[in-house]
Amino acid sequence: MRVSAADQNEARQVEVLSDVGRLFSEKVSGKNVDDRAQLKELLAYVRDGDKVRVKSPDRLARSTRDLLDLIEQFQAKGVALEFVDNPALNTDTPQGEFMLTILAAVAQLERATIRERQAEGIAIAKRNGVYERALKLTPEQIAHARERIEADVPKAKIARDLGVSRQTLYAALSGTGKYAEVKA
């Protein structure tokens, strides 16, 4: 069970999934499976002959590639997928796999379209001078990150600890992009 944000209500999913042996629930975006602790736990938990029940494919993954990779991982373990909202998508039939691939592509297109619209809106706002994102790292955090790097702490760990991407950390450390004028 997954909802994208902490303020979203998962009640409709709980209602249809309540009769499972173990419920894995998370409040996180589905755009990146690597950031989903409960999904990783589920993958480690399931065994041959198990069935994973999900309300709909977009609750499992948002990108076609991620969804297909997950399906492959489940199948390699002998685990079936059941989509409660649309049994025709269940992975135990060739037709279900075909339909699932098509619907996953549609979900990915929808997400890409949303991002495109968002980018257009941001570009218009920037052009009008009303859009400015705050820096994610303060000069103090950047200085502390440099100290940790000197102490041989991996940059990936530092970025995780700071709650930023490695790309943001690299930009802050090199003083590029928005960090070009930051003194740390």
Tens of pLDDT, residue by residue over 10-65, are 666 666 666 767 777 776 666 677 778 888 999 999 999 998 988 888 888 877 77
AA letter at 156? A
CATH 3.40.50.1390 fits 2-108, yes or no: yes
Strands 80-83 and 51-54: parallel
Q: Residue 16: its pLDDT value, please? A: 67
What CA–CA distance (Å, rounded) separates 29 from 100? 20
Domain boundaries, the chain: 2-108, 139-181
Known active-site residue 4: yes
Q: Residue 7: its pLDDT value, please? A: 53
Active-site choice (4, 18, 29, 63): 4
182 φ/ψ angles, rounded to the nearest 5 degrees = -85, 130
Whether the model pTM is above 0.85 = no
AA letter at 97? E
Tokens of residue 166, six digits: 């490695």
Element containing residue 173 per DSSP (H, E):
helix 166-174
Q: Residue 172: its pLDDT value, please? A: 92
What CA–CA distance (Å, rounded) separates 91 from 79? 9
Question: What pairs with residue 83 in β-bridges?
Answer: 54
